[in-house]
Structure formats: structure tokens, C-alpha cells
Amino acid sequence: MNASPSHQPHPAEWTETQSLLPSAERDLPAGRHQFHKEQMMAQIHEDLRTATATRIAPVKRPNPFLRRTVLLPAGAFALAGAVVGGLALTGGGADDGKTALATGPALTTRVGVADTKGAPELLDRISLAAADTSVPTPHKGQYVYITSKVADTYVKTVDDKSEVVSDALHSRQVWNSLDGKDGWLIEAGQTGDHGITLASEVPYSGAYDALAELPTDPEALLRQIYRESDAHRDAEVPRDQAAFVAIGDLLTESYPPAEVGAALYKAAAGIPGVVAVDDAVDATGRRGIAIARENPADGERTEWIFDKKSLRFLGERTVVVKAVAGSQFKVGTVTHTSAITERAVVDANKQVPGQAS
């Protein structure tokens, strides 16, 4: 990884991707991203509250890269990362009153300095560290378990009065079968104490079986990421940003084999606009460095946060780094933050590490 991405052909120019028809990149109309975010957040809260078997429009094929921020316009995302194409939320019995929209003050942070030249070298180091990490190999019938701390910020409107609000930092536990068709979600304040079933006719993004089949050659992997994100992203999401977000989603609520994780980091270096950030803080307050990319459509920068010494992946956040006309989000607002606190492979759905099956 000696060459800077700025000196490499854009992935769209590679032979394998010349047949793709990328959607035009363009800025959102003033206030559009807040509207989408508010509408999506309200809908997700309502879906979780009622716990009906609401089914989102199914995807046409199993897709390891299909995630909320690739499908939605810039700035619009769902609290429940499990709400993707073809997935049903059932059972669990979320209690009334536990899913009220947030009313807390907006989360803010210091905006770290971006280094456009340092990203390739940093990603190379991160990739080497990931390849050297011991990752368990799950067996048929087991589940990937991930627990994290998360919070989101969005625009809330009541009686025609809008304000920027944030969730309280809360815990999130997810179990997913290796094929991604079965699982369980418990998210404080969103699903009730018992959680909800995650069931899908197609694998969700980041299912272990799908990850294990990805190419480990970084260039081939990036071509596949562009193909898949081009096929499913919303036209208002710039294609390079969609590819970056797709990789980030595969790194957060999943447990990729070490060689795949290493390849994902190397692949990210081929995306134009990727930068290194000198200082970033995850949802639990752990300080680190970050690999990031700004979405020019909404002025928000998605940051992958790593421990400064071990280069271990800590979490992800999205920060407003540029004022956008019509937006109620000020520079420094944290629109999403997460911190992974544990990843493990367990023998059964809803089993926690250390618990007998």
C-alpha cells in the first residue's frame, strides 16, 4: 500500500465495473436529510414498540453489503441495525412508554484534524494488526454475539416545532446465526427487556458465512463492494460514501475472519476521499485515532475509531464537520456513536459468553 489512492484509477474505471451505471452525486435539498432521519427514526421506534411482524420490502438476492446507510439518503438511518431488506421483527413484547423518542441534548465533540496523506499508511498498519488477531472459527449451529453502547442524534418535531435531540447512551446486544437468517436483538429503551426476534429469508449484511466467502484480495474485494453498493444504494448517497459505509458496517456488527477483516481495511484505502483523523472518541469515552470519510452531501464524516497503540477496532461515530444550508445540525454534532464492548461466538441464540448452553 505504497501508492496514495489519489494516484490510483477510481474503482469505477476498472474493467470489471465499467458496466455499472452509477447514480449521479448531488447535494440534498436544504433540510432534506433531517426530514429523512426523523421519519426513519420515528418509524423504527414505532415498529419496535408495536413489535408487529412488519416486513420491509425484500431484496432480490442475498447481499452481504446491504445496510441501512447504503440504502437511505444521506443522514437517514435506522436505530435498529437489524432492520434491513427482507427482515421481520417479531415477538419480544416491547413495553409501551419504553420507546419514546429521545429528548436529551444533542451530543457534541471536538472535530479531529483530517490528514489526507496519512490514511494509506495507517490503514496498512491496521490491516497488519487485524491479520495478526486471533479470531474464533464458529461451527454450524453457533451464533455471533456482539454487545455495544450506542446513541443517535436526529431532528424531532412536535407541533411544528423542531429541535435536535439525542438518545441517552444505551446498551445493544445482538445474536446472529452464521447464515444470518436467525437472531435476537435486545436494545435498551427500544425492544423491551426481553428483546425481539430477528428473522430473515435472506442473509443480513455481515452474516459470518457471507463474510467468509468474500475475496481476500483487496482490489477484488473493493470491486465487489462497489458492485453491490451501486446496485442497492439510494441515488442521493454518493457512491464512494456508500462503499465506505458498507465496509464500516461489515466491521461493526459482525465478526469477520481475520484475513477478511485485514482485506477490508486494505480495500478501504482504494476509496477516494478517505482520511486519517488524529483524535476521535468512541461511545464509551475511549480515545483513539480514526479512518474517516466525509459525505459532501450532508457535511457529516463517518469515523472508524481504533486504539492508538494496539490499533484494535473500538467503534464508529458520525460527526458533522461542515455546516450545510438549511441543516439544524451544527458543526461538532455527533449524529451516531457506537462502541463495541464484546464480540464472541456462542452455542445458542440468546446465550451470553460464559453461560452454559
247/225 Cα distance (integer angstroms) = 8
How many helices (DSSP H) and strands (DSSP E) are in the chain? 7, 13
DSSP 303-352: EEEE-TTT--EEEEEEEE-S--TT--PPTTBEEEEEEEEEEEEESSTTPP
Residue 233's pLDDT is 83
Residue found under cell 498498519: 125
Residue 102's pLDDT is 52
From 70-74, 136-140, 248-252, the region with the lowest mean pLDDT: 70-74
238-264: average pLDDT: 93
| 326: pLDDT strictly greater than 70 | yes
| 162: pLDDT strictly greater than 70 | yes
256/340 Cα distance (integer angstroms) = 14
C-beta neighbour count of 336 within 10 angstroms: 25
220-246: average pLDDT: 91
Give the model confidence (pLDDT) of 272-315 as tens digits.
999 999 999 999 999 999 999 999 889 999 999 999 999 999 99
**C-alpha pair distances (Å), 98 with each of 171, 189, 313:** 14, 5, 31
| 8: pLDDT strictly greater than 60 | no
Among 158, 106, 113, smallest CA distance to 330 is for: 106
Grid coordinates given for 150: 450506542
How big is the CA angle at 67 (ends 163 and 14), to the nearest 5 degrees?
A: 120
Strands (E) across the chain are located at 54-55, 87-90, 114-115, 143-158, 161-166, 170-177, 182-187, 196-200, 275-281, 287-295, 300-306, 313-320, 334-346
Residue 193's pLDDT is 83
| 158: pLDDT strictly greater than 90 | no
Contacts of 246 (CB under 8 A, 6+ apart): 65, 67, 70, 205, 225, 228, 229
Per the model's pLDDT, the better-predicted residue between 340 and 34 turns out to be: 340
Give the model confidence (pLDDT) of 29-54 as tens digits.
333 343 344 444 444 444 444 433 33
Query: Band of the pLDDT at 203, cuts 50, 70, 90?
Result: low
224/201 Cα distance (integer angstroms) = 22
Query: Band of the pLDDT at 117, cuts 50, 70, 90?
Result: very high
| 71: pLDDT strictly greater than 70 | no
Single pTM value for the model = 0.75
261/334 Cα distance (integer angstroms) = 26
Residue 353's pLDDT is 94
The maximal CA–CA distance of the chain, rounded, in angstroms, is 55
Among 63, 87, 67, 85, smallest CA distance to 77 is for: 67
69-76: average pLDDT: 35
pLDDT > 70: percent of the chain: 70
Kindly report the average pLDDT of the chain as a whole number. 76
Among 222, 198, 174, 185, smallest CA distance to 65 is for: 222
Per the model's pLDDT, the better-predicted residue between 27 and 327 turns out to be: 327
